[in-house]
Amino acid sequence: MTDILAITDHRRGELRDVSYEIITAGRELANETGGDLHLAAISGAVDDFAENLNREGVDAIHTVSHGEEFNHDVYTQAVTQLYDDLAPQYVLIPNSVNGLDYAPAVANQLDLPIVTDTIGLETDGDTLIATREMYGGKVETTNELEGESVVTIRSAEWPVAEGTGDAAIEAADVEIDESAIGSTVTGFEEVAGGDVDISEAEVLVSVGRGIEEEDNIPIIEELAEALDATVSSSRPIVDNGWLPKNRQVGQSGKVVTPDVYIAIGISGAVQHVAGMKGSDTIVAINTDPNAPIMDIADYAIHDDLFDVVPALTEEFGG
Amino acid sequence: MKILVTVKEVATVEDEFEIKDTEIADQYLGADLNEWDDYAVEEAVQLQEAGIADEVVTVTIGPEDSEQTIRQALAKGADRAVRIWDDSLEDVDLLDVNAKTEILSAVVDAEDPDLVLTGVQAGDDSFGATGVSLAEEIGAQWGAVVNHLEHDLDDVASVRRELEGGVEELTDIELPAVLTIQTGINEPRYASLRGIRQAQRKELDVQSLGDLGLDESATESQLTLTDMYEPESESDVTVWDGSADETAGELGELLRDKGVAP
């Protein structure tokens, strides 16, 4: 058993980027095990998806046509049946919100170990060495697993697969038991709308947990006004209700690409970085010189934001 | 309706720390109620206040030291707590998802809740998988990354799941179910002084694996932690030093050079 089965992710008719990244991760593992890379496209326009997914290094694509959108019961049934049929060594699943909604169920049902949110994978064919982070990215760990396992991969850690492949595309022999479906998706809603579109801003003054309390938010707003910039934030500020959801930068908020991104009191959790790493110039103001934000910042001030921000506002006549 | 909430005491790490073998040295570690579980406790207590839940019970896998954290959850309104511990758990480096699933499912068998709430993930090991794995094990329905729950639960939980990119999915889930709760679903309360006093008198039941009908094999993780290290920084950041006025001046100059500030 040396093959790899990788499951792809899509939403509202579009394959998500991680679907092309998981091809790369899967191919690397398949090269190490000497096996084949099988992909699965489940629900939605699976034939169109299969055509797009047929990239270099893919040996087979299995389609499961059932419903339009993701449903975890359908995915769990489809993946466990594909596993029984194909007997792969590793099942790769995106560590997306949807991936986390069925990968653990697949692992439990198949009685396999699961390792989630991996950022590096190696195998000698028997032992999997998975690299992942702990403590909010402060440390990296390596973890060993023997035999078969379910593995979820973090998005944007592997490059997207390119080229055109010659995979065998076929409808999988999977039967979905409708009576076992216990949840129904009733709709989708965009929640980050509103009067301000931070993805259009040239300069973002972005505030994080370091601001400590809601009463301190005005010093950020004053700076933004002096700079003619737009205020954005990391997740905890929105969770606390200090700024509306349309200001949130990150995986579950908006992706932004301003000319200048000033990260104030933001440590730089991976979910936040995913939303702002495309900024042209990144400036970090943070007392912790080891904060992850420093890894992607172009300029940094390791100082108290309560000293630096008012000084900068004053500099611009605020 | 009975609600079971999983509550974990997570290790917190100071900005500067040292690693000893596959652990962060003790002196750099603190302990706190897992942030995601705090929201799960709040959601359960709100369901109780809305007259939906009759009882909120917390369950924690943890040593005696974790009782302070468990009392925090009790002070916020949970009715009673179960803590699972055993000598065989003492030396376990990393309890993987399957081990946690086995232990927690034994607690579900004993408590028979209608709804289980867990945090989406734990701030220390960040697996993000135990809730869904538990649901599958106990034959319940589930929903992961829930950031809104309608508080008129009948046989169905109407939830919103927070997807990537500012999109939410609306889903109806049949009960009994396990929901993994995302931060921001509510505003967790601070424990009142009265709540803290009351928490001291609430039942905190300590159970061993044997009490749950499990043996030591339940603690065997299939995942072995083999190394821990600080990630290598690929940073080529330019650091501005000096007083706040000086560093603000440097940043001001950059913004003017780029033509993005007045």
Residue range A24-54, pLDDT digits in tens:
999 999 999 999 999 999 999 999 999 999 9
How many Å apart are CA A264 and CA A313, to the nearest integer?
13
Residue A125 has pLDDT above 70, yes or no: yes
User: What's the start-to-end Cα distance of chain B, in Å?
Assistant: 60
Residue A67: its chain B contacts at CB < 8 A?
none
How many Å apart are CA B104 and CA B119, to the nearest integer?
14
Q: Burial letters for A2-36: b for 16+ Cβ neighbours within 10 Å, e otherwise?
A: bbbbbbbbbbeeebbebbbbbbbbbbbbbebbebb
Report cis status (omega within 30 of 0) of the bond before B176: yes
How many Å apart are CA B96 and CA B104, to the nearest integer?
12
Gap from A58 CA to chain B (nearest CA, Å): 27
Place of tokens 């191919």: A27
φ, ψ at B131 (rounded to 5°): -60, -50
Q: Name the band, by pLDDT with cuts 50, 70 and 90, for residue A93.
A: very high
B18-30 per-position pLDDT tens digit: 999 899 999 999 9
- Nearest-by-Cβ selection for B230 from A11, A139, A317: A139
B97-137 per-position pLDDT tens digit: 999 999 999 999 999 999 999 999 999 999 999 999 999 99
Q: Does A139 contact B231 at a Cβ distance shorter than 8 Å?
A: yes
| Nearest residue of A to residue B234, measured between CA atoms | A295
Residue A59 has pLDDT above 80, yes or no: yes
- Nearest-by-Cβ selection for B129 from A114, A290, A295: A114
How many Å apart are CA B116 and CA A248, to the nearest integer?
29
Residue A202: its chain B contacts at CB < 8 A?
260
| Nearest residue of B to residue A261, measured between CA atoms | B255
Rounded average pLDDT over A305-309? 97
The CA-based angle B68-B70-B76, given to 5 degrees, is 105
How many Å apart are CA B21 and CA B39, to the nearest integer?
33
Q: Does A190 contact B166 at a Cβ distance shorter than 8 Å?
A: yes
Residue A281: its chain B contacts at CB < 8 A?
254, 258
Instruction: Give the pairing type, strands A203-207 and A230-233.
Output: parallel
Gap from A261 CA to chain B (nearest CA, Å): 11
Q: Does A187 contact B170 at a Cβ distance shorter than 8 Å?
A: yes
Place of tokens 């008198």: B201
Q: Does B229 contact A98 at a Cβ distance shorter than 8 Å?
A: no
Interface pTM (ipTM) of the complex?
0.95
| Nearest residue of A to residue B127, measured between CA atoms | A116
Mean pLDDT, rounded, of chain B: 95
Query: Which CATH class for the B2-219 domain?
Result: alpha beta
Q: Does B162 contact A252 at a Cβ distance shorter than 8 Å?
A: yes
A200-242 per-position pLDDT tens digit: 999 999 999 999 999 999 999 999 999 999 999 999 999 999 9
Q: Does B167 contact A117 at a Cβ distance shorter than 8 Å?
A: no
Residue B150 identity = E
Give, as one character, the DSSP assignment of residue A274.
H
Instruction: Give the pairing type, strands A299-301 and B238-239.
Output: parallel
- Nearest-by-Cβ selection for A299 from B17, B123, B254: B254
Instruction: State the best of B164, B172, B254 to mutate against chain A, taking most chain A CBs within 10 Å.
Output: B164
CB neighbour list of residue B91: distance below 8 Å, 6 or more residues apart = none
Rounded average pLDDT over A137-166? 96
Give, as one character, the DSSP assignment of residue B189.
P
Q: Which of A34, A44, A39, A46 is nearest to A165 (CA)?
A: A39
How many Å apart are CA B136 and CA A101, to the nearest integer?
11
pLDDT of residue A163: 96
pLDDT of residue B113: 97
Kindly list the distances between the CA atom of residue A110 and the CA atoms of A82, A107, A114, B137, in Å, as whole numbers in the listed order: 11, 5, 10, 11
Q: Does B127 contact A142 at a Cβ distance shorter than 8 Å?
A: no
Q: Does B247 contact A303 at a Cβ distance shorter than 8 Å?
A: yes
CB neighbour list of residue B55: distance below 8 Å, 6 or more residues apart = B2, B3, B48, B79, B80
Q: Does B19 contact A238 at a Cβ distance shorter than 8 Å?
A: no
Q: Does A307 contact B97 at a Cβ distance shorter than 8 Å?
A: no
A291-301 per-position pLDDT tens digit: 999 999 999 99
Q: Name the band, by pLDDT with cuts 50, 70 and 90, for residue B154.
A: confident
Gap from A213 CA to chain B (nearest CA, Å): 14
pLDDT of residue A178: 95
Mean pLDDT, rounded, of chain A: 96
Gap from B148 CA to chain A (nearest CA, Å): 12
- Nearest-by-Cβ selection for B132 from A101, A146, A240: A101
Gap from B125 CA to chain A (nearest CA, Å): 5
Could you write out the three-class secondary structure of A175-203? CCCHHHCCEEEEEEEECCCCCCCHHHCCE
| Max Cα-Cα span within chain A | 69
Rounded average pLDDT over A43-71? 97
A181-204 per-position pLDDT tens digit: 999 999 999 887 777 899 999 999
How many Å apart are CA B208 and CA B42, to the nearest integer?
27
Answer whether A214's CB lies under 8 Å from A242's CB: yes
Q: Does B17 contact A259 at a Cβ distance shorter than 8 Å?
A: no
Rounded average pLDDT over B174-184? 97
CB neighbour list of residue B45: distance below 8 Å, 6 or more residues apart = B56, B76, B77, B78, B189
Instruction: State the best of B223, B228, B232, B233 to mutate against chain A, taking most chain A CBs within 10 Å.
Output: B223
Residue B16 has pLDDT above 90, yes or no: no
| Nearest residue of A to residue B30, measured between CA atoms | A135
Kindly list the distances between the CA atom of residue B56 and the CA atoms of A125, B9, B107, in Å, as whole numbers in the listed order: 46, 18, 14
Domain residue ranges of chain B, discontinuous segments joined by +: 2-219
Q: Does A144 contact B226 at a Cβ distance shorter than 8 Å?
A: yes
Instruction: Give the pairing type, strands A260-264 and A183-190.
Output: unpaired
Gap from B203 CA to chain A (nearest CA, Å): 31
Q: Name the band, by pLDDT with cuts 50, 70 and 90, for residue B262.
A: confident
Give, as one character, the DSSP assignment of residue B116.
E
Q: Where do the domains of chain A lie, and which CATH numbers do they carry? A: 4-180 (3.40.50.620), 198-317 (3.40.50.1220)
Residue A259: its chain B contacts at CB < 8 A?
258, 260
Residue A290: its chain B contacts at CB < 8 A?
15-16
Rounded average pLDDT over B55-74? 97
Tokens of B27: 């002196």
Instruction: Give the pairing type, strands B19-20 and B23-24.
Output: antiparallel
Q: Which of A269, A240, A268, A234 is nearest to A253 (CA)?
A: A234
pLDDT of residue A19: 98
Residue A262 has pLDDT above 80, yes or no: yes
Contacts 24+ apart (CB under 8 A), A95-98: A95/A152, A95/A153, A95/A154, A95/A155, A95/B128, A96/A9, A96/A16, A96/A18, A96/A155, A96/B164, A97/A252, A97/B144, A97/B145, A97/B161, A97/B162, A97/B163, A97/B164, A98/A9, A98/A11, A98/A70, A98/A72, A98/B163
| Nearest residue of B to residue A155, measured between CA atoms | B164
How many Å apart are CA A34 and CA A41, to the nearest integer?
23
pLDDT of residue A1: 65
Tokens of A85: 């049929």
Q: Burial letters for A74-96: b for 16+ Cβ neighbours within 10 Å, e otherwise?
A: bbbbbbbbbbeebebbbbbbbbb
φ, ψ at B87 (rounded to 5°): -60, -35
